[in-house]
Amino acid sequence: MNNSDKSTIPYGITESAWQSALENPSRIVTIEVGESRVWLKKITPAEGDFGRRLLTKFSKYLDLPMLSAVHQPGGCEALATEAGRLQQLHAAGINVPRLLWQSDEMILMSDLGRRFTNYLKQHRDNPELKIAAIRQAFKALNNLHGRGQYLSQAFARNITVIENEEGLEIGFIDFEDDPLATMSLENAQARDLLLLVYSLSKYIDNCQQQYQSLVSAQIEPLADDIKLQLKQFVNKFGWLEKLPGKRRFGNGYWRLTMIPAVLRAGTNGHSD
């Protein structure tokens, strides 16, 4: 599967389509192959570590390891990490892109459908449908965790969806970093839930109570060590709910202030 020669044309892609993808300035390019499509991801420069070092110190000060910054290597290492994680998750039965081809500077992956966030935007005026879809996303995450796995960046933007006769098929993308290089599996799984709860809250203006009940139902059966981490987060960031001007400072600020309230109901039954 590995080939370092850029001139090699993989997976039945036509020469013109391959050349066009290589010349495309975008780092992630979709390529049509017959009636299907594949995704080419190219190498990216490594980012600076100052912000991540600061976040790691902050997480240690708060004794919340799930907030530790995950090393994001960039370059060849990031692509190698993604290729390895895709193979690991696929072997565990998780719906992630299939690794079709890789070189030192590029990887080629199968398509998993549309972005979940676009699906939620399409149905923004249908709260019942949105909550049903979000419930499926949490179910997929619970299945992943139940198989001893974890995500890299568990934001809603990294979830995919395909609509079929059986309902919604949820998938996960973007694995350029590995949280287990920084934290334990339990920390990584708690981090997954926190990031997903936060990022999905952008889409629940007209179904906030249903969303809070759904999150509470997701937290209640979790392992005690994961629930404890979430409870500690609520205890240490509950003051965010009292901040003024929540809407005035934008949606991201408002979502941050509401997260403790969303998580609280599911963690109230857990004692420190």
pLDDT confidence of residue 2: 59
CA distance 138 to 189: 12
pLDDT confidence of residue 99: 97
CA distance 258 to 89: 32
pLDDT confidence of residue 259: 84
Q: Is the per-residue pLDDT at 271 higher than 50?
A: no
pLDDT digits (tens, 9 = 90+) for 217-246: 999 888 888 999 999 999 998 887 777 655
**205 or 180, which is more confident:** 180
**179 or 62, which is more confident:** 179
pLDDT digits (tens, 9 = 90+) for 129-185: 999 999 999 999 999 999 999 999 999 999 999 998 888 999 999 999 999 999 999
pTM, full prediction: 0.89
CA distance 86 to 173: 9
Give one DSSP letter per residue of 121-167, joined into a string. Answer: HHTTT-HHHHHHHHHHHHHHHHHHHHTT---SS--GGGEEEEEETTE
pLDDT confidence of residue 134: 97
User: Which range in 41-45, 115-119, 161-165 is most confidently predicted, on average pLDDT?
Assistant: 115-119
